[in-house]
Amino acid sequence: MILGERIRLRAVEQDDLERYVTWFNDPEVRKHLEMILPMSSADEEDWYQNMRKSPPAERAFAIDIRDGNGWTHIGSCSFLHVDQINSLAEIGISIGEKKQWGKGYGTEVVRLLLKVAFETLNLNRVYLRVYEKNMRGIRTYEKAGFVLEGRLREARFSEGSYQDVLIMGVLRSEWTAGKEKRG
């Protein structure tokens, strides 16, 4: 497991899949994710089996928060498209448990992913794609040190209109400088 102050990242287990199906069938949760249609339990089981065959660095993590003396599963995150030659990867995150939105867990998860990226995977650049209307996500990424690198104009069709997809990234040197400032 990878431990943060209030969270831990752990391997996704088959027992987690029912929660994913519930979360990803909620249009509000799905709104800022790439998936646009509801999913079945069979779809999620297929995802799980395929994910288990992925390279270790690209396997999803379950996000758990401290809950008294135990832990509660609230979402997932992962590294995508890990490129060891160019030392870069994309990240993705979803907090599916809506009652945990707005409590800073997303920022802590992203910061922990960056620590793993730079200190364990030896990456030089981490990037992500975020939809321009996802203001909560954009603020989370900025707090974690991401900067806007580019914009894919009208690249996402959602709720009857096109929106831009923002490309944000952080370099190891920027993360190291930010880490030194934070102490």
Task: Provide mean pLDDT across the span 35-64.
Answer: 93
Residue 47 host element (H or E): helix 41-52
Map tokens 């995977």 to a residue.
121
Task: Provide mean pLDDT across the span 52-81.
Answer: 95
183: pLDDT strictly greater than 80: no
Which residue from 102, 106, 103, 54 is spatially nearest to 75, judged by alpha carbons? 106
Rounded to an integer, what is the distance from CA 38 to the centroid of its chain?
Answer: 19
Q: In this predicted model, what pLDDT tens digit does every residue of 122-163 receive, in sequence order?
A: 999 999 999 999 999 999 999 999 999 999 999 999 889 999
Q: How many domains does the chain have?
A: 1
116: pLDDT strictly greater than 60: yes
180: pLDDT strictly greater than 80: no
Predicted TM-score (pTM) of the model is 0.94
Q: Which domain holds residue 135?
A: 2-182
Task: Specify whether the CB–CB gap between 29 and 96 falls below 8 A.
Answer: yes
Q: CA 43, CA 138: separation in Å to the nearest integer? A: 29
Q: What is the CATH number of the domain that holds 99?
A: 3.40.630.30
Tokens found for residue 93: 């995150």
